[in-house]
Structure 1
Amino acid sequence: MKKGLKIAVGLLVLAAVVFGFYSYRAATVRKNSQLDVKTAKATVGDVVAYLSVSATIESQNKKDYYAPQAKVKRVYVKVGDKVKKGDVLVTFETQDYSFPIEQAQIQYENAVLQRDELYAQKKDIEDKIKQLDTQISSLEKSNNPEDKAKLESLKQQRDNIQPVSEEKIKQAENSVKLAKLSLDNAKKAAAQAQDKITADFSGVVTAVNVVEGAMANSMQPAVTVQDLSNLKAVAKLGRFDASKVSLGQKVVLRNGKKTYSGEVTFIEPVATTTMSASGQESTVGVEIKVLDKNTDLKVGFDVDADIQIGRKTGVVKIPVEAIRQEKDRSSVFVVEQGQAKEKEVTTGLWSDNEVEIVSGLSAGETVILNPSLKITNGTPIRLPLAGGLGRRMR
């Protein structure tokens, strides 16, 4: 009996050893088949999308002042000078226009006098003819022989009168018009005679292209003034980017490590076509007002402009690298009970590193980042330890 008991105990021990061996082996195989992945939690927050472009800093208020074809008398400014509205920048030597105006005025007045005199002469003659016609009509009714002789005399007087022709009247009126035109032109020439250049607004002189004593070149600006306290950034956008931009959008301008606030204030209504190394290129100009004052931005320098083209608040979001896209289908892999599970999702707004999830995923779920083709439904997943490969959304 003791011998049989020993055999039974031995068999039980052997069975336990065999069971333990196979259990350990199965656990080892299962552990080795698990995939290490990077993960992140779906969270609720804001998704902000930006369009990043290069822009050039310009003054919002710039004017090129052109000079007349005249000799420069004096230059009052140099590049870098600050000027106020109304300050004289340059003066020129110009002719005296008082004599041509006075001469034209006299000619005009003489023409008016001659016309009015002709009007008066015409009226006197017409009145005289009417008077004679009245007398003739009265005498024609008389049978007195003396009245007959007088009648013939009056008719002869009437026939000898030479009336003022309409042609002479028209000539006199045209003479007045020509004299008035000459007078107006003389006054206009005097008014347009530019003897100086004055600043239309306060700013800084950025160019001077005239020299005292020399003739001014009317083909190039004599002086350029810019308001450097009010700046804008100008960008050129292609067809696809231009459709994303609208007035009032917020902009972040980056100059090295410094950032400034901006706003889209103008979009050109039509595209401009230019030649580039790759052929014709059509772009639309966009102006961005620099909202910050006293910046270190310089006119002519380039800056990076991030135009905010979209913003969603309080939405479910995940990293963009969690999305797997196949044609028109978007999906993610979540981790449930140590296994990968694919979920089809509907996406909304995309930013550079985050995407809005409209449906198909809830906040708090764990998604796999950059899922490889090895991952399918049911693939065992080994989650990273705290502080390891996981990623939390902001």
Structure 2
Amino acid sequence: MDKKIFLKKKILVGAVSIILLAGIGISYGIKNSRVKAKEVNIENAVKETIIENTIATGNIEANYRSNILLDNKKKIIKVQVTEGQAVKKDDVLVVFDSSDEENELEKQQINLKNTELTLNQMLNGGVEADKSASENSAAQANYSLENAKRKYDDANKKLKQNEELFNSGAISKNEYEDSKKNMEDSYTAVKSAEDALENAKTSLKATNSNSEAKIANQKNQIELIKKDIENYKQKIKDCTVTSNIDGKVIKVDAKENQYPSSGDQIIVDDVSKYKTVVNLKQYDALKAKIGQKANVKIKGSENSYSGTVIEIGQFAAAETNSSSDNQDSKVKVTVIIDDPGDEIKSGYEADVEFIFNEKKDSLVVRFDGIKEDKENGQKFIFAVDPNNKVTKKYINIGIESEYYAEVTDGIDENEEYVLNPPENLKEGDLVIQGSSAKTSSNPK
């Protein structure tokens, strides 16, 4: 009896134990059921071609533009071209009224003839006659002086002879005094002749100086008139406006029998080639090279054109970002379009794609799945294992495109990772693909 009671008690204790263990299991299961997986966007690391590039927007420009400003003080009498017309270098574009300049030219040509005639008269007539008379007077004065000197020498010799004769008593005192007076008169005549010669020389010098000044002045007048004539000829030539390049007439502000308004012009573009100038951020400009290829796409067109970088600016200019108040340093880069189509026109807006690097069969992940460790600055992703647990994996980055980055080390192909991981996501968390999650397209 006691043995049966003991057996019943043992069975009862066992049953209670089983119930307790079941309760503990149920409690644990209930507790675990409260750990919910976080809904995230999960994507696979894949292999594909990655292109490191940048796209900038600019306006199409002609290879060269000739802006011809029209003179608003002259009336246009003939317009030779229309907008869209092809022209060659030196083709006439417009003709201004040149009648005033032609009248002035005719007056100056007559003035030149009269001035040259006056100069010839000076050289062959009055001025030369005055000069010749002064030269003759000087020559005559010089001759008179020489003659006076000879007479003085003769009188001086005669005086010495008569002085000896007088002292010997051969001649009278009157004869001696006469010879003495004759010598003194001869000396006076020499002095008078010297003064006359000096006066003649002074007169000749003054005549020569005056004549040379008159002739020089007349010659200067002739040169000034000739310059005026050349000036009017150039003004008449300028009334015919020609193209200085081969190209296409883009704009014509000229109207016949009207005066142009201030700022009116004719524009001729060299359309043998087109170019576009874009502003690249410093980060991208450092990668650009002369001769580098680029793709040019006209906005609104399905066509894309090959281009070549021909010029990189020598300085970076600060430019305010349209989406923020920050300023970016940007460099002007010029791309020539290699083979432009007929649809291209100056002023069109175009997107220019610069390809800096390209790798095929590269393992890539999206930028919005990459995080940076605040402690060590290393890049990492939240990888998702087969049990849907999150693991933090550090990666090395290669080249970058607008949305993707090449992963050179750290993960394998087809490995899953979390896009746009929430701030509270950590290692060990359970995650599932969210039903409403969408792939982000935010660029780097």
Q: 1:187 aligns with which of 212, 230, 236?
A: 230
2:307 counterpart residue number: 262
- The separation in 1 between residues aligned to 2:113 and 2:300, in whole angstroms, is 70
Q: 1:80 aligns with which of 55, 77, 84?
A: 84
Amino acid at match of 2:357: R
Displacement after TM superposition at 1:324 (Å): 1.4
TM-score, scaled relative to structure 2: 0.61
Amino acid at match of 1:144: D
- Show the 5 A alignment for 1:1-394: 33=37, 37-41=41-45, 43=47, 45-53=49-57, 55-68=58-71, 69-95=73-99, 96=102, 98-106=105-113, 109=116, 121=131, 125=135, 132=142, 139=149, 143-145=153-155, 148=187, 151-152=190-191, 154-161=193-200, 162-165=203-206, 168=210, 169=212, 172-193=215-236, 194-212=238-256, 214-217=257-260, 219-221=262-264, 223-235=266-278, 237=279, 241=281, 244-245=284-285, 248=290, 250-258=294-302, 259-266=304-311, 267=313, 287-301=334-348, 303-308=349-354, 310-311=356-357, 313=359, 317-325=364-372, 329-335=377-383, 337=385, 338=387, 339-345=389-395, 347=397, 350-357=400-407, 361=410, 364=413, 366-380=416-430
SS in 2 for 1:60: strand
CA deviation vs aligned residue, 1:347-378 (integer Å, no higher than 9, x gap): 565432023457x6366365432222343223
Q: Measured at CA, do residues 112 and 350 of structure 1 come closer, stay the same or move farther in structure 2, by a change above 3 Å?
A: farther
SS in 2 for 1:299: coil
- The separation in 2 between residues aligned to 1:367 and 1:170, in whole angstroms, is 102
TM-score, scaled relative to structure 1: 0.67
SS in 1 for 2:153: coil
Displacement after TM superposition at 1:322 (Å): 1.6
Displacement after TM superposition at 1:100 (Å): 3.6
CA deviation vs aligned residue, 1:10-53 (integer Å, no higher than 9, x gap): x9xx9xx98xx89x969x96996486651232647544131433
Q: Measured at CA, do residues 60 and 35 of structure 1 come closer, stay the same or move farther in structure 2, by a change above 3 Å?
A: same
Displacement after TM superposition at 1:187 (Å): 0.8
Q: Measured at CA, do residues 304 and 90 of structure 1 come closer, stay the same or move farther in structure 2, by a change above 3 Å?
A: closer
- The separation in 1 between residues aligned to 2:412 and 2:118, in whole angstroms, is 94
SS in 2 for 1:160: helix
Please say if residues 419 and 439 of structure 2, whose CA atoms lie closer than 8 Å, have aligned partners that are also in contact.
no
Q: Measured at CA, do residues 33 and 242 of structure 1 come closer, stay the same or move farther in structure 2, by a change above 3 Å?
A: closer
Displacement after TM superposition at 1:182 (Å): 2.8
Q: Measured at CA, do residues 160 and 325 of structure 1 come closer, stay the same or move farther in structure 2, by a change above 3 Å?
A: same
Number of positions where the alignment pairs a residue of Structure 1 with one of Structure 2: 363
Structure 1: unaligned runs, 5 residues or longer: 1-6
Identity %: 18
Please say if residues 345 and 361 of structure 1, whose CA atoms lie closer than 8 Å, have aligned partners that are also in contact.
yes
Q: Measured at CA, do residues 306 and 144 of structure 1 come closer, stay the same or move farther in structure 2, by a change above 3 Å?
A: same
- The separation in 2 between residues aligned to 1:103 and 1:318, in whole angstroms, is 89
SS in 1 for 2:390: strand
Q: Measured at CA, do residues 184 and 104 of structure 1 come closer, stay the same or move farther in structure 2, by a change above 3 Å?
A: farther
SS in 2 for 1:143: helix
Q: Measured at CA, do residues 113 and 367 of structure 1 come closer, stay the same or move farther in structure 2, by a change above 3 Å?
A: farther
Structure 2: unaligned runs, 5 residues or longer: 1-10, 156-182
- RMSD, matched Cα: 5.3
Q: Measured at CA, do residues 319 and 94 of structure 1 come closer, stay the same or move farther in structure 2, by a change above 3 Å?
A: same
Please say if residues 111 and 179 of structure 1, whose CA atoms lie closer than 8 Å, have aligned partners that are also in contact.
no
1:4 counterpart residue number: none
CA deviation vs aligned residue, 1:115-171 (integer Å, no higher than 9, x gap): 87879949x859957x949x7699499733287576345414312211334964456
Please say if residues 40 and 432 of structure 2, whose CA atoms lie closer than 8 Å, have aligned partners that are also in contact.
yes
Amino acid at match of 1:83: V
Displacement after TM superposition at 1:286 (Å): 5.5
Please say if residues 232 and 288 of structure 1, whose CA atoms lie closer than 8 Å, have aligned partners that are also in contact.
yes
Q: Measured at CA, do residues 229 and 218 of structure 1 come closer, stay the same or move farther in structure 2, by a change above 3 Å?
A: same
